[in-house]
Amino acid sequence: MILISLNISFDGFAYVVLACYEGEYTMTPEEKFAFDLEGYFVIKDVLTVDEVAELNKIIDKNNRQADSHGGRPSSWGEPFKKLIDHPRIFPYLVELLGPYVRLDHDYAIFMDQGGSRGGLHGGPDVVGDHWYKYRDGIMRNGLSVMAYALSDVDVGSGGFACIPGSQKTNFLNYVPKEVRQFKCDRHYVVQPAVKAGDVLFFTEALIHGTKPWTASHQRRSLLYKYSPGHSAWNINYYDLESYGELTERQRRMLQPPSIGQRPRVDENLEV
């Protein structure tokens, strides 16, 4: 059974409605409606309690440090490598970024109480890779994120925040500076709740940011960022040989960007 939360924003809070689906998964019409409306969603219970514990244990044992410009969680061992194309997230990647989707870069965010990482940013740029398009029944996105939660995030705790629906805004530069810097609250800025094991997907075309962390426990989030096969955001590509054994699908997803003769990732491959 698949559980996905459809987030309905009201008065600055994100209310969660759970939808269930049995059998082989593709995005339901309701999920497509919700994502087109808001630009993000939460996939519930992607990782089991044991899987979350294993990932956290490895982080603790190796004193892993989060660095948005340095170490890649995907290189921290087999349990992290499996997150590249986890079977629960893979159908969403193909649906929303296409059959040539590639992992562009990845990093971790660890935040202790009182920590901050900057304000709202992103949005549908006229240049770059932050975009959302719909045509003939197909949704496509530029750079997009699967954020694995390794600790609980309650409403009001801080962490990921966004302006739902802003991936389609025509007034990107009209958001007041004090709102972007979280110096004042507005009803149109929400901070969704997630549980450890959930995955939050969002397009970088969505205006988003990180609110200061207020909870007593550490926030732990692994951000795996994907692009369509023809584009790249990060200047550095993956060294496949440094990853040891990879499945054929993973090898294709870690390839540098290209167009001509690029292999699909949604074929019946060894996974």
| Residue 4 φ/ψ, nearest 5 degrees | -135, 140
The answer on pLDDT for 15 being more than 60 is no
Give the CA distances from residue 141 to residues 36, 96, 201, 227, 247, in Å, rounded to whole numbers and listed in that order: 11, 6, 12, 8, 25
Give me the torsion for CA of 171, 9, 45, 131, rounded to 10°.
-10
**Residue whose tokens read 């992607």:** 46
**Residue-level pLDDT at 67:** 57
**Residue-level pLDDT at 247:** 97
pTM over 0.85: yes
Coil, helix or strand for 110? strand
The answer on pLDDT for 11 being more than 50 is no
Specify if 70 maps to a domain.
yes
pLDDT in tens, 204-232: 999 999 999 999 999 999 999 999 999 99
pLDDT in tens, 148-199: 999 999 999 999 999 999 999 999 999 999 999 999 999 999 999 999 999 9
Please give the share of the chain, as a percent, with pLDDT higher than 70: 87
DSSP 194: B
User: Domain containing 217: what range?
Assistant: 2-253
Q: What span, in angstroms and rounded, lies between the C-alpha atoms of 16 and 13?
A: 10
pLDDT in tens, 100-110: 999 999 999 99
Provide the number of structural domains found in the chain: 1
* CATH code (residue 136): 2.60.120.620
Specify if 266 maps to a domain.
no
Specify if 105 maps to a domain.
yes
Amino acid at 37: L
